[in-house]
Structure 1
Amino acid sequence: MCRWLAYVGTPVLLDTILYKPAHSLIDQSLHSRLGVETTNGDGFGVGWYTPDVDAPALVRDIGPAWSNRNLREIADHVRSGLFFAHIRASTGTAVQQSNCHPFRHGNWMWMHNGAIADFHRIKRDLTLAVDPGLFPDIEGATDSELMFFLALTLGLEQDPPGAVARMAGLVEDTGRRHGVEFPLQMTIALTDGARLWAFRYSSRKDSRSLFYSTRVDTLRALHPDVAFLRDVSDETRLVVSEPLGDLPGAWNEVPESSYGVVQPGGDEMHPFAPLPG
């Protein structure tokens, strides 16, 4: 499967979060500790927001992140207060640019780790559930992108947590009609450029790993010698598939079947359960 990270906070260079940490996402592309696969080399993508532009920028490619010279080049020049980054290990769909995360629609970005079980068996039914007005915007063939467009169909722009819950319910109901016992495995990052939602859920109740960073003011008190912590605001937060290093007290596991919201004025954590689609 895949590894991903989402950063929200003080604007920083992409290099700061993508390359510099001891167990960075680039290191995880070769040496993942908690993923299903140790190596995640079936493509990568980064997305970010810039002032006065609603839609995020995307850079995606089919090669491995660890050797991509263009990614290394832009990492020293792109600065943002909201980054998504994803390294892909395909679960069966083609290694092609349109299948690389993050996915974008308007000002929204989405990325996913996990899979719809037996996707080939239920893909047609799920695809037919997408709003016909949204269908032309689907570019690739992954279950991940289809989940995004199902959530958009089910009200993502008005109610992100509810839409993701209805999408999960639709996937599970469809899968079980086709005899799939455990249809869904997901950790999802979703943003509109202002807020970040992160979801952890699976039909087995044994979901892929997901962590969030401790509040910066707490970490600053624990580790006053860490320069990065002196330079970012208390609102800065990372959500990651696996920790970027071993700094004591820095990482907290997202509870099973839950979702969190990173937003101005206070972050929140809530239980998550699928809803009827």
Structure 2
Amino acid sequence: MKRMSLLPALLLLVLLASCGTGAQRRTFPVEMTLQPMTGPNERGWSVTPEALHVSVGPVRFYEGHVLLSRRAPRFDPFLLLGGTAWAHPGHYLPGDAMAEVLSTTVVDLLAASPTVLGEANAVTGDYGSMELTLPVPPATGDAVAPLGGHAVRVRGMATHTDGRRVRFDAALDLPKPIEGIRFERALAEEVGRVRITVDLNTWLGRIDFATASPADAEGVSTFPTGSQAMNALARGVEDTGAYVVTWVEGATQ
């Protein structure tokens, strides 16, 4: 992705201005990895992923802290399909910008080690939250090919506790960034990096794979628009609780 070379410098000027004269410029790497599923989801399905890709970036950090609510909105049509309430920020104001990774990276979440998303241009201070953008990749080529023109793509085998099996290929696009992800830390000049861990239990935890489409000639089902499977996947990916953000001490290996 092409950007003007002075953009990081302008960002830092904005960050320093918003955080006051006590803030110091710094950078830190941001990486992403996966927490695999540990058992059947709430519908009784265990999933063995065969491919799991997501387009990530920009990633933004703010000073505002998040008060999480487990209550669903007063009326949620998805609950009529058997969904459950999900974690979302309540009374959340992002506050001052603290750091930003501008680039977009296609992440293979099944990779053996975390994927570095980029170096955050940042300032020191008290961090409270993160905003995560999962966009349709702006470029073409081998790196983005696994996504098939989408922001998120999951392929694998789902097996129910009663023995039913569904081989699936599901893709998803998000209408807006995921706001209000918790990241609470006072950052000074210590060496380290931010790690974003995607919880696959949350991403796939609500899906009833029996609502996927009939299998095609190759035995693969998809998630039709408006189906319980597609709605549940969207809810899982949009759930702020699906992203555990931590500070890892030490230099990147």
What TM-score do the two structures reach when normalised by structure 1? 0.25
Please identify which structure carries the higher helix content.
1
**Greater strand share, 1 or 2?**
2
Give the number of the structure with larger relative contact order, counting CA–CA contacts within 8 Å between residues 6 or more apart.
Answer: 2
What is the TM-score with the length of structure 2 in the denominator? Answer: 0.27
